[in-house]
Structure 1
Amino acid sequence: MTRSWWGWGNVEDAVGGAELDALLGRVRAVMPGELTDHEPPGIASLDLPRPRATPPASLADLCSVDPADRAAHAHGKAFRDVVRNLQGDLRHVPDLVARPRDERDVTDLLDWCAGEGIAVIPFGGGSSVVGGVEARCDDHPAVVTIDLERLNRVLEIDTTSRAARIQAGVYGPHLEGQLRPHGLTLRHFPQSFEFSTLGGWLATRAGGHYATLYTHIDDLLESMRVVTPVGVSESRRLPGSGAGPSPDRLFLGSEGTLGIITEAWMRLRERPRRRAGTAVRFSDYGSAVAATRAVAQSGLNPANCRLLDATEALINTGVSVGGGVLVLGFESADHPVRASLERAVELCRDHGGEPSADAGDSAGESDGDARGGSTAETWRSSFLRMPYQRDALARHSVIAETFETACTWDRFDALHQAVTEAARRAVDEVAGSGVVACRFTHVYPDGPAPYFSVYAPGRWGDIVGQWDLIKAAVSEAIVANGGTITHHHAVGRDHRPWYDRQRPAPFAAALTAAKSALDPAGVLNPGVLLP
């Protein structure tokens, strides 16, 4: 397989043929305008600037100046990143891409860059959608991206405690492949699973694909090891501790600004053997939300509890429904889960929900979501193809991207209305028309994580500017109505203005002090989290 330098995933898996025809057909049904394809530029045509740094001889064999390598590490995978790549707009590229072989190499690279004032961007899978890996570091003489892909092994497995010591550069499929012979799983499957790494998940406090209980990577971490410019921080392996502020919490979500995560002990689980699921349809959206809250507060802890509003359901599953579809799924490694599903369905019926006739109960294994009949299977397939479809739409000047947040249940109605209205106003202003949809990616006893999708016709020469205006309008509405600027996509550079307003001032001062103490030269991922 060949990784795409400009867009998501593998070149061979890009949308084409009948899938592309069907996708564009759905777009033409709801949006006016011409859908002209824009081919990605060739690497040779990009005219990248000459590298501004030369590594010392001892590090030279770790560093690449190959134009394709530099271009592939210039941006993340947000909609605006993909469009800029398609337009050949790579004004910020790393001067070098370094691939350390071990932790000693990481230390040596960091020492060299700190001594020269060269900006360092830690890089996992590069799937950031918030400008987190972008070489936007104009105050530094050069930029080096440190790609950890060679640190990709499960080093040790403690089957008694059900934990493993894992290097940070391992990609999701390779990690699970090393755990599978032991009958164990990390059970962390973000949408980016195939193209993201353990270190990236930890650095961004990633959320997995499971909707309840242990879904954030925070919950799965036992201890970690981090290389900083002033030394190595390694926390102790413990199931829990009340010994002051947690050192791990300092680095979880630090997004490469305080150090480079090289390995971690992670809590594992037995691989699931029993699954049951269904899709429940509602004629009224308010009732669908109430039913979802009832399930979230029931203590049943479904693996899948994803509410799609009517628009989301139609676009991604082809189901026409008045209020929405709640996709439910349960799984277990050691006991049947049918009774849990039946109780969840009973709660949904209390709010007018009707389960599909295709409910399933199955044994067996699969990486990812708990299965639940044809509607849920259609959703799952669509979910995994979404990034590829987004790229195809970007090539055809269609704005297609998402905004995610979280809020408490008492604030959801107001937030949902405000964000939907802000998105529609912005879309109407910059594009004339468009579609706004919402789904829940995760649910908690005290609130949901709404995920808003926007589809609108774009103007090829101004599509990034159009997107930026929509992004700003939606972000303002989220923060003004009690939501977080990010539930699982991190802060990066793109969310900084709203993150600055969200965090308490004393905490900002403490974070600034920590940055100064751990990174005195200020070379680690400048502009992320802090000015």
Structure 2
Amino acid sequence: MAAMKWWGWGLEGVEFTHADKPELAPFIEQRIGLDVARPIAPPARFDDLDVPAPTLPHGLRAALESAVGAEHVSVDPLDRVVHARGKSIRDLVRQRRGDLPRVPDAVVRPAGEDEVTAVLRAALDADAVVIPFGGGTSISGSLEAPADERRPVLSVDLGRLDKVLEIDEHSRLARVQAGVFGPHLEEQLRARGYTFGHFPDSFTHSTLGGWIATRSSGMQSDRYGDVADLTRGLRVVTPAGTLVTQPVPATSTGPSVREMVLGSEGRLGIVTEATVQVRRLPQERRILGYLFPTFGAGLAAMREIAASECSVSVTRVSDAPETQFSFATRKRSTPVDKLKSKALTTFLTRRLGFRLDEMCLSFIGYEGSTGHVAEQRRAVGRIVKRHGGLCIGSSPGALYDQKKFDTPYIRDFLLDRGVAADVSETAMPWSRLTPVYDAVTAAGHAAFARLGVRGYLMCHLSHSYHGGACLYFTFAFEPAPGSDMLAEYDVVKTAIQQAFVDNGATLSHHHAVGTEHARWLEQDLSAPGVAMIEALFAGTDPGRNLNPGKIV
């Protein structure tokens, strides 16, 4: 698969536009004071970048070329810059500025586990740093080498390990190489009548190994589980040899080594293969749109659905600010659409008593046999009705399903115009949901006020569990004239993250730790917890050759 832009999200030539969304420009100007028609500030031209020359010892290069072939050891400047960082707002701002403190000295592309082993052995013999690379979508600072790293740095790109090797149809288990991208994984499984069911926002550009390394969750994790639930067995190349965990449904063999690898961000080794749980393609798949009078009513409905016997694939409800943003991104309406919208608005306000500025949009997904889907829809419909909600049909859900992977492009659209936009997500018990939401909202707006900027903060519930849920916050603001965008971004991001841990929530539900969230790890896990992780990393990788500086 083609690499993403060195300066932004996605592929060259693909971008978000407001031209076909007549309400978006006025909405953005009203909320954060940005005129989207202002001239765009383009990133630096790649040819103008001062890309540091590679410092690859001759003996190490010869060993790498012997391991994977000379054509699969790249010192090309663009290739190295693409692999230097992920896609966090900090990564993109610095890339666009041409700030390149520590670029990998080479990008190495092994084709199998034996080659990965040979690459790691060569790196250890040369005391080089190894950073595993999947799709490069990390937004937590998980891919950049420490700025003061003086040893050779290798980015090990696993894109050639992209096959579904075997499907155990009796057990519904698939052996899959770790470098496979989401679309190619689903394509191979669907040809056999299966699905993995894991669809994170980054699905188009991320890999199975990356999902495992960051404990990813997907949009349909309510039904399928997150990647930690789906991953049954692993093969990981480590400094001590190849770690293998068996794909058994349960085991009582001491602390879980499988769990140690999940979320380890390359600190324990290079994941080459996983045995994952797959399911037969559902007979029917449907996502319906709902409206709730308030965010509180929507959260209560999601909580009741989670506690019920209902089995749904998606539970998502946006707060009022996110709902208003979603409506502002609608494309130009036809006369018939306008009539329908007016009739619905009249019904909501006059018959149901909705206030349009408090109304919240929700999506609930259903999968399975036709009979199962119909039964689940009826059961959920009764719960929704009890909380004052209304089903508005399949059209909004179908549109959400089509556009669900486009959201990251909006961040680039805003960044082009000098606006910082980012996300922070967390999880907490149901009893803490509203207190966390209120605390984070207050903290975010207080940070905007301290900076003297007009900011926008919105949120949605994205995953439901029996005992709690994930809240996913998005914020955007235009920095004060003459200020440093990243310094002001840190004020807002810090306020939100600190509000998480201060109010009984976790520092991250599915975006990992990296370097962006590491400062809150002790508050999340306690000092003994951090010490345990440090001991694990030190015992497995005493030379700190594997992606040093991440997590702790």
Normalized against structure 2, the TM-score is what? 0.89
1:433 equivalent to 2:486? Answer no
Number of residue pairs matched? 515
* C-alpha contact (below 8 Å) 1:288/1:323 kept by paired residues: no
Structure 1 residues 33-85: Cα deviation after superposition (integer angstroms, max 9, x where no partner) = 45441112222211111112233313132321111111111211112222222
Q: State which of 380, 383, 398 in structure 2 corresponds to 1:347.
A: 383
For residues 14-34 of structure 1, give each alpha carbon's deviation from its aligned partner in whole angstroms, at most 9, with x where no partner exists. 124725876444312322245
Task: Calculate the aligned-residue CA RMSD, in Å.
Answer: 2.0
For 2:409, give the aligned amino acid: Y
Instruction: Name 1:146's counterpart in structure 2.
Output: 156
Structure 2 distance, partners of 1:115, 1:21, is 59
* Amino acid across the alignment from 2:48: S
Alignment of 1:114-513 (within 5 A): 114-318=124-328, 320=356, 322-332=358-368, 335-356=371-392, 358=393, 373-458=394-479, 459=481, 462-513=484-535
Superimposed CA distance per residue, residues 154-206 of structure 1 (whole angstroms, 9 cap, x where no aligned partner): 11121221111110001011111111111011111111111000000111110
Aligned to 2:8: 7
How much has 1:308 moved relative to structure 2? 0.6
In 2 relative to 1, CA 23–123 (structure 1 residues): closer, same or farther, beyond 3 Å? Answer: farther
Q: Check the 8 A contact 1:31/1:457 in 2, yes or no.
A: yes
**Is the partner of 2:50 in helix, strand or coil?**
coil
Instruction: Name which of structure 1's ranges 117-126 and 377-386 shifts more when overlaid on structure 2.
Output: 377-386
Task: Check conservation: 1:223, 1:264, Cα contact below 8 A.
Answer: yes
Distance in structure 1 (CA, Å) of the matches to 2:432 and 2:546: 37
Post-superposition Cα deviations, 1:472-515, rounded to whole Å, max 9, x if no partner, equal 11111111001100000000011000013211333333322221
Give the corresponding residue for 1:71. 81
Which residue matches 2:349?
A: none
Q: Structure 1, residues 376-424: CA drift from partner, whole Å, max 9, x if none?
A: 2343444322111111111101121111000111111211111001111
Give per-residue Cα distances to partners, 1:437-470, cap 9 Å, x unaligned: 1101101121110011112113576111111111
- Paired residues of 2:215 and 2:262 also in contact (CA < 8 A): yes
- Structure 1 residue runs of 5 or longer lacking an equivalent are 359-372
Please state whether the residue corresponding to 2:132 is helix, strand or coil.
strand
Q: Please state how far the C-alpha of 1:109 moved relative to its aligned partner.
A: 1.8
The separation in 2 between residues aligned to 1:440 and 1:136, in whole angstroms, is 34
Q: 1:23 to 1:352 in 2, by over 3 A?
A: closer
Name the aligned partner's letter for residue 406 of structure 2. Answer: R
Amino acid corresponding to residue 507 of structure 1 in structure 2? G
Contact 1:440–1:451 (CA<8 Å) still a contact in 2? yes
What SS class does the counterpart of residue 470 from structure 1 fall into?
A: helix
467-476 or 237-246, which deviates more: 237-246
Q: Which moved more, 1:80-89 or 1:199-208?
A: 80-89
Tell me, yes or no, if the aligned pair for 2:130 and 2:154 is still in contact at 8 Å.
yes
Question: Which sits farther off after the overlay, 103-112 or 304-313?
Answer: 103-112
Per the alignment, residue 336 of structure 2 pairs with none
Structure 1 residue 213, shift from structure 2 partner: 3.8
**Residue pair 2:287, 2:398 contacting (<8 A) in 1 also:** no
Shift, 1:254, TM fit: 0.7
Check whether the contact 2:294–2:319 (CA below 8 A) recurs between aligned residues: no
3-state SS in 2 of match to 1:12:
coil
Residue type matched to 1:37 in 2? I
Query: Separation in 2 of the partners of 1:262 and 1:460?
Result: 47
Instruction: Indicate if the aligned counterparts of 2:287 and 2:401 stay in contact, CA closer than 8 A.
Output: no
Shift in CA distance, 335/352, structure 1 to aligned 2, threshold 3 Å: closer
Corresponding residue for residue 30 of structure 2: 29
Query: Identity of counterpart residues, as a percentage?
Result: 37
Paired AA for residue 499 in structure 1: L
Which whole-Å CA distance do the structure 1 matches of 2:8 and 2:437 have between them?
Answer: 30
Larger CA deviation: 191-200 vs 159-168: 159-168
Amino acid at match of 1:30: R
Q: Distance in 2 between matches of 1:232 and 1:291?
A: 47
Equivalent position SS for 1:128: coil
* Residue pair 2:141, 2:516 contacting (<8 A) in 1 also: yes
Counterparts of 1:277 and 1:399, CA distance in 2: 31
Shift of 1:430: 2.4
What secondary structure sits across from 1:422 in the alignment?
A: helix
Q: Deviations over 1:236-273 (max 9, x none)?
A: 12122122222211101111001110001111100112
Quote the offset at 1:233 in angstroms.
0.5
Instruction: Answer yes or no: is the 8 Å Cα contact 1:431–1:456 preserved in 2.
Output: no
SS at match of 1:164: strand
Task: Tell me how far 1:429 sits from its aligned partner.
Answer: 2.3
How far is 1:121 from its partner?
0.9
> Which residue number in structure 1 is paired with residue 343 of structure 2?
none
Deviations 1:263-287 (A, max 9, x none): 0111110011213442221222222
Cα separation, 2, equivalents of 1:64 and 1:72: 12
Q: Indicate conservation of the 8 Å contact 1:209/1:215, yes or no.
A: no
Counterpart-to-counterpart distance in 2, 1:98 and 1:284: 52
Match of 1:367 in 2: none
Q: 1:105-162: per-residue Cα shift (whole Å, max 9, x none)? A: 2112212222332221111111000000112252442211111111111111212211
Structure 1 residues 194 and 382, CA gap change in structure 2 (3 angstroms): closer
The aligned residue for residue 345 of structure 2 is none
What per-residue deviation string (whole Å, max 9, x for no partner) do you get for residues 282-307 of structure 1?
22222222112111111313111101
The secondary structure found in structure 1 opposite 2:274 is: strand
Normalised to the residue count of structure 1, the TM-score between the two structures is: 0.92
1:57 counterpart (58, 62, 70): 62
1:58 partner SS: helix
The answer to whether the 8 Å contact 1:229/1:259 transfers is yes
- 2:16 is matched by which residue type in structure 1? V
AA of the residue aligned to 1:254 = S
Matches within 5 A, 1:505-524: 505-524=527-546
1:18 maps to which residue?
19
1:89 is the counterpart of 2:99:
yes
Q: CA deviation at 1:518?
A: 1.5
Structure 2, unaligned stretches of length 5 or more? 331-355
SS of the residue aligned with 1:182?
coil
* Corresponding residue of 1:368: none
1:300-350 alpha-carbon deviations (Å, 9 max, x no partner): 131111011111111124495524122112111574311211111111111
